[in-house]
Structure 1
Amino acid sequence: MKPIGIIMNGVTGRMGTRQHLERSIMAIRNQGGLTLANGERLMPDPILLGRNEEKLRTLAQQFGIERWSTNIEACLADPYNEIYFDSQTTLRRAADVKKAIEAGKHIYCEKPTAVTSEEALELARLATEKGVKNGVVQDKLFLPGLLKLKRLIDNGFFGDILSVRGEFGYWVFEGDWQPSQRPSWNYRKEDGGGIIVDMLCHWRYVLSNLFGKVNALSCYGKTHIPTRYDEDGKAYQVTADDAAYSTFEIEGGIVAHINSSWNVRVNRDELFELQIDGTEGSAVAGLRNCKVQHRVNTPMAIWNPDLPDKNNYREQWIEVPMNGDEDNAFKIQWEMFLDHVVTDAPYRFDLLEGAKGVQFAELGLKSWQQRRWLDIPELTLDVKKEGSIDGVK
């Protein structure tokens, strides 16, 4: 059994605790470690890093973890810790990732990797120059619903894909009469908040990995609820967008539109759903489920508002089976990255991919500001001899 030290910075937050610590690293430990591609068994050994000593101590006791610290320099100086993971707020991430790269640690972090695409590209360049392996969380690709959808695409189920329509979101309580489900910083632009910055990074890797290169986008943001209440019940003004309405032009003529909102009451089967329509068939994929309708099973719909519609459209779709074990999407990607670090197994979700997500969000904000479509330049990482970077072609 080979141990590997992992610095986990920011895991006292909601996502860091639930998805990365509990459902990924602790789940791997509880299953007896991870069997690598070379047959070796790997045991993650986390050290919890943060700014709040009390929260760290409590979290470590809860999960039976012996190591925790508030000193990032000491954690990075310890050669036992080979990997640095970051799930802090967006504004704090890039500076600490840079420190970890300089210390020679392999990097795995949440998205967005930085506030600007320039800063995100700089992280990718530094990691490349230092020769450290690096990865960015792109969890939705490993959700059961999207894995089923990918299988349909790979097997040609749709014929020619025509369009993609997505709905994401739910009602986030304002925090006055009922506690909010999201932290207040999500709604302050000055703290790195906003749904465009948060969600367009996701839509970039979902669309490009499933359907093809995204060539252009149009995005309209909105702050629907101007006043919310923070964790102490104090009212504050919302300075970030809480909804985004985005359209994307994908190679091959595919049109995609995704609504993202924290102000929508759910009338769908899951909090996130994509409908894909093609010449041979259609599918509706969510976080866990996926259902299809082939052209030979498509009912005849006739528009006549004067008569009751005899079709029960929801019942005319067929569920796609998983045909395998379902595992946590974050855990799946953690296992892939750990295998990559130790055995050099293939891994493509690196910091450059993270920078492309930041670029997506940046262009979404710019499109909203300028009220127009924007082409998406190709983002590359060309490290020149003098050390400069040419990031856009």
Structure 2
Amino acid sequence: MARKTVRIAMNGVTGRMGYRQHLVRSLLAIRDEGGLDLGDGDVLWPEPVLVGRREHALKTLADRHGLEHVSTDLDAVLADPSVDVYFDAQVTLAREDAITRAIAAGKHIYTEKPTATSARGALELARLARDRGVKHGVVQDKLFLPGLLKLKRLIDGGFFGRILSVRGEFGYWVFEGDWQPAQRPSWNYRAQDGGGVVLDMFPHWEYILHELFGRVETVQAHVTTHIPRRWDEKGKAYEATADDAAYGIFGLEGGVVAQINSSWAVRVNRDELVEFQVDGTEGSAVAGLRECRVQHRSATPKPVWNPDQPATESFRDQWQPVPDNGEFANGFRAQWELFLRHVALDEPYHWDLLAGARGVQLAELGLRAAAEGRRLDVPELAL
């Protein structure tokens, strides 16, 4: 058995997502199981190189997990020929420049989204990677969630008949930070720092809609800042200049209509933090992060509208759960494994920087549609 080592520069692992999902639950979990099985007796061994600005924080993480390599000098890491992959989980504003430098250094690229703060910048990254001949991938983790995998199973099996519409609800109340600490970093609420729910969430909605239902062809949106004053990590008040809620309508190829609400100023009254209801001529489904419930045409009850009487039936109980029919891996790890196989074996991989650019494009057009108060076409991107 041959063990092949792939050295991965991981920039931004001191943040919550970079640390928990990408380092611990993905790469370290692969190492804990002896590496990634490539077949024919070969195993791929990921070797993280932790990169960031705070040396003490990096060394603390390295010591905690028995890792050897940390650096605060990104250029030195990129100049190291033994480093194969550059991964970016930094704040959005820092990402485009770092990825540009990594591409120039000939590193394969794997990155969180959004890949840039503008569609032009995101598309340029895809062009640079193509011209440099490096492999590249963008995290599109929600496609690997159990609830959406079950939903895709229904779509592939023809359960819905002709799909008519998709309705999504995402969000929760993010504490203002005055009398309870906020659950999200304060930069998320400052436009000048790359914050905003549209730039954060519309790239997610783009790849979910694109992969499951069809390309997004039009967008219209109402975007607002419901909570204009928040308190940062040090308890200092600041003006929230970024949008914290967006109400979008997306026209998809084939005539499907999608409506998705995204908000950090909403209290949860649903089973999961994100849910999508899909209605079709033959049946409907509601999918969340993990669960999925269905109601077929043949089992659809006959609701009766009577505002003068209390409801006599539980509408939620009229839906049937979709079984797991197998084990679901952590979505971030599942996509990491696919990308590493792409790097090591040249296996197909289509969640690339061009796909990431589509997400940034949709966010940019969503903000413009809201500002102009009209529906905009979403041109198809190409390199």
**Which TM class, normalised by the smaller chain length?**
over 0.9
TM-score, structure 2 normalization: 0.98
Match of 1:390 in 2: none
CA distance in 2, matches of 1:358, 1:252: 23
Q: CA deviation at 1:38?
A: 5.6
CA distance in 1, matches of 2:66, 2:370: 47
Match of 2:180 in 1: 178
Match of 2:259 in 1: 257
| Letter of the 2:197 counterpart | I
1:31-89 CA distance string (max 9 Å, x none): 11111256521010000000011111111112221111001111111111100000101
Q: Does 2:348 match 1:346?
A: yes
1:7-48 CA distance string (max 9 Å, x none): 000111111011111111111111111112565210100000
CA distance in 2, matches of 1:38, 1:378: 40
CA distance in 2, matches of 1:152, 1:114: 34
Aligned partner (choices 49, 52, 65) of residue 50 of structure 1: 52
The count of aligned residue pairs is 381
Q: Does 2:377 match 1:375?
A: yes
| Letter of the 1:340 counterpart | H
8 Å CA contact 1:272–1:287 kept in 2: the answer is: yes
Match of 1:362 in 2: 364
Determine what percentage of the aligned residue pairs are the same residue. 64
TM-score, structure 1 normalization: 0.96
1:345-383 CA distance string (max 9 Å, x none): 1100000000111000000110011011000011000xx
CA distance in 2, matches of 1:346, 1:13: 30
Within a 5 Å distance, the mapping from 1:286-301 to structure 2 comes to: 286-301=288-303
8 Å CA contact 1:37–1:339 kept in 2: the answer is: no
CA distance in 1, matches of 2:36, 2:368: 43
SS of alignment partner, residue 46 of structure 1: strand
Deviant stretches of 4+, over 6 Å = none
Within a 5 Å distance, the mapping from 1:17-36 to structure 2 comes to: 17-36=19-38
1:149-171 CA distance string (max 9 Å, x none): 00000000000111100000001
SS of alignment partner, residue 204 of structure 2: helix
CA distance in 2, matches of 1:316, 1:144: 22
Alignment root-mean-square deviation, CA: 0.8
CA distance in 2, matches of 1:192, 1:63: 31
1:316-359 CA distance string (max 9 Å, x none): 11111121111111000000000000000110000000011100
CA distance in 2, matches of 1:134, 1:39: 26
CA distance in 2, matches of 1:39, 1:192: 45
Match of 1:388 in 2: none
Within a 5 Å distance, the mapping from 1:67-78 to structure 2 comes to: 67-78=69-80
SS of alignment partner, residue 135 of structure 1: strand
Structure 1: gaps of 5 or more residues: 382-393
8 Å CA contact 1:38–1:343 kept in 2: the answer is: no
| Letter of the 2:13 counterpart | V
Q: CA deviation at 1:219?
A: 1.0
CA distance in 2, matches of 1:40, 1:371: 56
Q: CA deviation at 1:96?
A: 0.7
Match of 2:242 in 1: 240
